[in-house]
Amino acid sequence: MSQPQISQIQTMLDLQNSMNTKVNAQWRKQNFAWYRAIWIECAELLDHYGWKWWKHQEMDRDQVMLELIDIWHFGLSILIVKAADAEDLCRELTLGLSDNVHLEFPEQLEAFTEEVLHTKSFDARHFGSLMKCVGLEFEELFSSYVGKNVLNMFRQDKGYKDGSYIKIWDGKDDNEWLVEVMQKLDLAADDFAESVYRALDESYPD
């Protein structure tokens, strides 16, 4: 990976730490079951990808990407807690995303999920393979992660923790709103994160 990509990995690690701290200032000491959140997301991911042979299904790429981003959030959380050194973790992720194995997507997802359940950890190499299977490039991982991180911050600000947050408005899930918002914005803009938050806030019911 290039130096800018290494910098973007560090940015994502910093954003994840900020998000987790917003939810619980002592999150590193709580022994949260991040691995459990990952395998639940894996099941949702496979549904969006399509696996039922008894009915017509097509991959919902936007939702597949969002599920992968959710998994990435939880994976980063696991690794931040385990890491002894931030720079070493950044290098580990850089190498892991670049060194992939190749299976068909359902089998690759099952192998990834089995590894998560067995180790209660996160393997960047297996995750990178999932990215390759569905054509998720690093640049899209970064922009989508930033977008979803903003949505998570938005949820917290609007009452996600106390249950007052409205997840579906005007008949659409907030993840769908995020996809629509991001399609209208310049992903390379310096104020991309702020623009995502502002657009969500403008659409959110009072």
DSSP state letters, 59-125: --HHHHHHHHHHHHHHHHHHHHHH-S-HHHHHHHHHHHHHS-----HHHHHHHHHHHHHHHSS--HH
Q: What is the pLDDT of residue 43?
A: 95
- Determine the average pLDDT of the residues in 111-126: 94
Q: What is the pLDDT of residue 2?
A: 57
Per-residue model confidence as pLDDT tens digits over 36-52: 999 999 999 999 999 99
Closest CA to 57 of 106, 20, 95, 10: 106
Radius of gyration of the chain (CA): 17
Q: What is the pLDDT of residue 47?
A: 95
In this prediction the pTM is: 0.82
Q: What is the pLDDT of residue 87?
A: 83
Q: Is residue 4's pLDDT more than 70?
A: no
**Contact between 173 and 97 (Cβ < 8 Å):** no
pLDDT band at 10 (very low <50, low <70, confident <90, very high): confident
- Determine the average pLDDT of the residues in 149-163: 92
- Determine the average pLDDT of the residues in 179-192: 84
Q: Of residues 155 and 1, which shows the higher confidence score?
A: 155
CATH numbers and ranges of domains, the chain? 3-203 (1.10.4010.10)
Look-up: residue for tokens 């502002």? 198
- Determine the average pLDDT of the residues in 142-170: 92
Q: Of residues 32 and 206, which shows the higher confidence score?
A: 32
